[in-house]
Amino acid sequence: MQRKDWKFEYQGNQLRDAAIKKRDEHITKRDWWIGKKQEVIMQVPKTGITVHDSVAAGYSHTKGAFGPQISIDPALQQDLGECHSKIMSHDQYVREYDGWVQVLTANVTARLPLNHDDYMFFFGDDKHARVDDDE
C-alpha cells in the first residue's frame, strides 16, 4: 500500500475551522493548568514550607552553628514545575494554531492537499497526534 503518498484535499475554510477548534481546545487546557498552578502556589505557604531549628541549638555551645533550615515540599515543587511546563506547552500550541487561523482566513477558498501528518495536525485526536502532551 502507498498510504504515505496519499493526499487528501481540503478547503482553506475547513482547515481554518479545524485550527480554531484546536486553538480553543489548547486555550482551555492552558487556562486549566494556570488554575492548577495557582492552587499549588496557594498551598505552598500553608503546607509546603517548613522551618527546622536544631534541637542542639538551644542546649549547647553550638547554638547557632547549624542555624535554622528552610525546606520546601519537593512534591509541591514538582507540581509547580509540571504546571509551568504544561502552560508553556499549551501556549505554544495556541500560538501555532492561531498562526494557521490567520493564514487560512486569508485563503478560505484555496484547495490544499494534506498528507497523514497534516490531517492529524488539524483534525486528529491530540492523544494520538501528539505523544509529547497528555493534557
CA 36/CA 17 separation, integer angstroms: 29
Residues 6-53: tens digit of each pLDDT: 999 999 999 999 999 999 999 999 999 999 999 999 988 888 788 777
- Reduced to 3 states (helix: H, G, I; strand: E, B; else coil), residue 114 is strand
What is the Cα 62 distance to its own chain's centre? 48
pTM score, whole prediction: 0.79
CA 95/CA 132 separation, integer angstroms: 17
Residues 82-115: tens digit of each pLDDT: 999 999 999 999 999 999 999 999 999 999 999 9
Cell output for 109: 477558498
Per domain, the residue ranges of the chain are: 7-129
CA 18/CA 119 separation, integer angstroms: 10
